Amino acid sequence: MSWIHIMILLPFIYAILVPFLYKLYSHKLHTGWFVMPIPVIIFIYLLQYITPISSGEKIYTTLAWMPSLGINFTTNVDGLSLIFGLLITGIGALVILYSIYYMAKKREALHNFYIYLLLFMGAMLGLVFSDNIFVLYVFWEITSISSFLLIAYWYQRPKSRYGAQKSMLITIFGGLAMLAGFIMLSMMTGTNSVQEIISQMNDVTSGPLFVPAMLLTLLGAFTKSAQFPFSIWLPDAMEAPTPISAYLHSATMVKAGIYLVARFTPVFGGAVEWFWIVSVVGMITMIWGSFYAVKQTDLKALLAYSTISQLGLIMSLLGLGSASMAFGFTEESAMYTVATGAAMFHLINHATFKGSLFMVVGIIDYETGTRDIRRLGGLMTIMPISFTLSIIGGFAMAGLPPFNGFLSKEMFFTSVLRASELPIFSMETFGIMFPVIAWVASVFTFVYCMILIFRTFAGKHQPERLEKKAHEAPVGMLIPPIVLSSLVVIIFFFPNIIGQSLLKPSLAAILPGFTQDGAFEFITKIEAWHGFNTELFMTIGIVIFGTLLYLSHKKWSSVFYTLPEWFSLNSVYNAALEKSETVARGITNNYMTGFIRDYLVYIFAFFSIALLTCVWVLKGVSLDISNNAPISIYEVILVIGIVISALGVLFSKSRLTAIISVGALGYIIALLFVIFRAPDLALTQLIVETVTVALFLLCFYHLPEFKKEHSRVRFRITNLIISLGVGITVTLLALSAQGNKLFEPISSYFENSYELAGARNMVNAILVDFRGFDTLLEILVLSVAGLGVYTLIKLRKQGSGTNETE
């Protein structure tokens, strides 16, 4: 096991210790202090990979898991996985520090909170560093389960349970679709390794399962990253505690789909379907999220829709950047890789400013008791540090200088402008929609950023409408957003530090063919000023038009209410969920009748239909009696006697007759054993039958006589069909088993019992030597049963004696 495997498994292992630490020290110290070293240690450990990865190295390690199935825990540390690993652990450490002050120590089940958080952190690390597609899927679903637990942390609230259920249903559905896509990729390439699949991308492209595998993989990515129309789960997930929103829904979990698209761009990129689906879905998500963010009156809901919009922006950039692969790896196509570079740059920028904003919103909620914008205002002088942090995060999200969001937004505009000039995919006709949608969505982004900042901190203070007296947050709660806001500013002034060390290696992982010198030169020369170009004029237009919309917001906000409430994606989801529950309840009520007969009908019907269908399709019935031994007259007579005895048991009118018939049946079977030259079995059968008959006679002596009851049994055609079906099925299976021998019979092995075990009797050798432990355990079971019977008899005698004494 390598250090990278230990790093991934460390959060899972430490999660086991959290309950014990909570029990021992929770009365003295917040549990978060024990948890925070884990992401800090992993973050510091990952920093050592920056130098080798930036120089072009890739680090692979393998841990055997299920080698016979080709499933091993293989890790791949490259530029793409390293960016995500640093975000997961770096922001994870800040979130834990923030939660120490945010989560009440006495009123919360903190051990559960940190267990779920560690499970999620470990799952995300495993997801981004896994090279095996099926191991990646395992971690993918663990993120869905752990995020469900985190969203439902305050499970007493109906909205928390509803939001957790919605997120799990949608993301698990996408995950299963993704698994089907992975299986198709494995079938096409004969490997489960992502890197090996990439190396065979020409074979994948020409395969018949290429488009289905692509669509199913994208379905998993879109559901996880809240792309339209699956984005409805993210706003409801805001019922989770704010540290969870800052971690899962801005920096990590919602970026998992982004990671998946980036990771599989070398496989599917360049295909026209991939380009249009990823870029168009991203654009629709971006404008839909920004438009609905303006409508929100809850600060976390506003940030949720803004996150949807920003995720759509990054997704569209990955789609546009994949067009470069359609040209082949040439100098001309390298200019279109700026979109992919902008996607990775904005990924980092979004994690910094959105994480900071979520934490500030949590501070506002924590210190005022509300997140309702209509009840807030005038907090600028009361909470000056929080106001400053909001300015930095909000302006960065709006794409204004001097903040990092301005740089990646300008690269975004460059990307959509270049995309509109692409000489492929009919972009000369439809490409104009990309700059237009990007500009309109950016205008709405500017508007909701201004609402977030100035509706909260400017205007008139309304203390009577707040649940608490507002004041600034404690220093410990302010440190994490201050760190993130500082990065927002630092990245603006020194962007090329991460450009050379992180962005360039990540692009080499996403577009592995563009590794020649100069292909990613733009990433190492990011500048804020490019002169008076189209991108700058687009930004100026956004500021002017966005300011006008913000100032006149009350006049045009009624447009949000033109459509009825039922005409929404949430209504469709709720109606579908309700309908599915109704249908499921109806089906369940139909077959869960409470009658054993009905359950047996279902079981036997399925048994007969499934097996008869298999026998028919596989042509499994064949009857070859050429090698059968001849049937003697004695055997015929004994079989007739067995049938008569069995019928006698069924139709006898007294218990004595039934017992005699059962005994006769057993003795006749013993005679069959004699004819078939198995004297030991015949002797055993005779002893067992004698003891059984004797026990029956002893027991039935104390029971009342049969009562003559005349009851008419109603004939049911269903019973007849099921009986015939089971009988025919068993008969055909027996014939099929006799006529289809796939392997040599095992009896040939036991023929050498004397040489193998020194026993002349083959049956005895099997019972005593070959399956001696089985026989020993059978004897043990009989001994335990005998002791139990003996104990019950003794207890009964003692009880009877006591009663007589009393």
Does pLDDT of 553 surpass 50? yes
Query: Where does residue 328 fall: left (phi above 0), alpha (psi -120 to 50 degrees), or beta otherwise?
Result: left
Instruction: Give the rounded distance of the alpha carbon of 798 from its chain centre.
Output: 60
Spatial CA neighbour of 472 closest among 367, 614, 596: 367
Most distant CA atoms of the chain, gap in Å: 112
DSSP-assigned letter for residue 60 = E
Rg of the chain over Cα atoms, rounded to whole angstroms, equals: 36
Q: Which residues pair with 73 in a beta bridge?
A: 63
- Condensed to tens digits (0 to 9), the pLDDT of residues 562-620 reads 777 767 888 888 889 899 999 999 988 888 888 888 888 889 999 899 988 888 887 76
User: Cα separations (Å) of 244 from 102, 306, 325?
Assistant: 11, 17, 37
133-151 helix and 210-224 helix, angle to the nearest 10 degrees: 30
288 contacts 226 by C-beta, under 8 angstroms: no
Q: If you ran DSSP here, which 8-state letter would residue 449 be given?
A: H
Cis status of the peptide bond prior to 402, with omega within 30 of 0: yes
**CA angle at residue 164 from 162 to 167, to 5 degrees?**
105
CB atoms closer than 10 angstroms to residue 290: 26
CA distance 359 to 245: 9
The alpha-helical segments, DSSP class H, found in 152-255 are 158-189, 194-199, 201-205, 210-224, 233-236, 242-248
**Mean pLDDT along residues 796-805:** 57
Chain segment 113-136, per-residue pLDDT in tens: 999 999 999 999 999 999 999 999
691's tokens: 């003891």
Interior/surface letters 585-603, b for 16+ CB within 10 angstroms, e for the rest = eeeeeeeeeeeeeeeebee
Q: Is the pLDDT of residue 203 over 70?
A: yes
pLDDT of residue 329: 63
Token pair recorded at residue 279: 């870029």
**503 vs 80: CA distance, rounded Å:** 8
Instruction: Give whole-number Cα distances, 481 to 144, 245, 246, 298, in Å.
Output: 26, 14, 10, 20
- What number is the average pLDDT over the span 708-726? 77
- Confidence grade of residue 804 (pLDDT, cut at 50, 70, 90): very low
Q: Is the pLDDT of residue 805 over 50?
A: no
Lowest-confidence segment of 526-540, 599-613, 689-703 by average pLDDT: 689-703
Q: What is the pLDDT of residue 442?
A: 95
d(CA 114, CA 126): 18
User: b/e for 111-122, b at 16 or more Cβ within 10 A?
Assistant: bbbbbbbbbbbb
Q: d(Cα 778, Cα 773) in Å, to the nearest integer?
A: 9
d(CA 133, CA 139): 10
Name, in order, each residue with C-beta under 8 angstroms of 135's C-beta and a sequence gap of 6 or more.
65, 71, 72, 73, 74, 126
Q: How far apart are CA 745 and CA 329, in angstroms?
A: 61
Q: What is the pLDDT of residue 710?
A: 59
Contact between 58 and 319 under an 8 Å Cβ cutoff? The reply is no
CB distance 43 to 84 below 8 Å: no
Q: Mind giving me the DSSP string for 233-290?
A: HHHHGGGS-HHHHHHHTTTSGGGHHHHHHHHHHHHHTT-HHHHHHHHHHHHHHHHHHH
- Residue 629 phi, psi (nearest 5): -70, 150
pLDDT digits (tens, 9 = 90+) for 146-178: 999 999 998 889 999 999 999 999 999 999 999
Greater confidence (199 vs 325) lies with: 199
Rounded mean pLDDT, 662-688 = 87
Q: What is the pTM of this model?
A: 0.80
pLDDT for 640-661, tens place per residue? 999 999 888 888 877 788 888 8
Each residue's pLDDT tens digit, 227-272: 999 999 999 999 889 999 889 877 788 899 999 999 999 999 888 8
Mean pLDDT of the chain: 87
For 663-681, what is the mean pLDDT? 87
Residue 333 above 80 pLDDT?
no
At 76, give phi and psi (nearest 5°): -135, 115
The tokens 């972009």 sit on which residue? 427
Residues present in the chain in total: 806
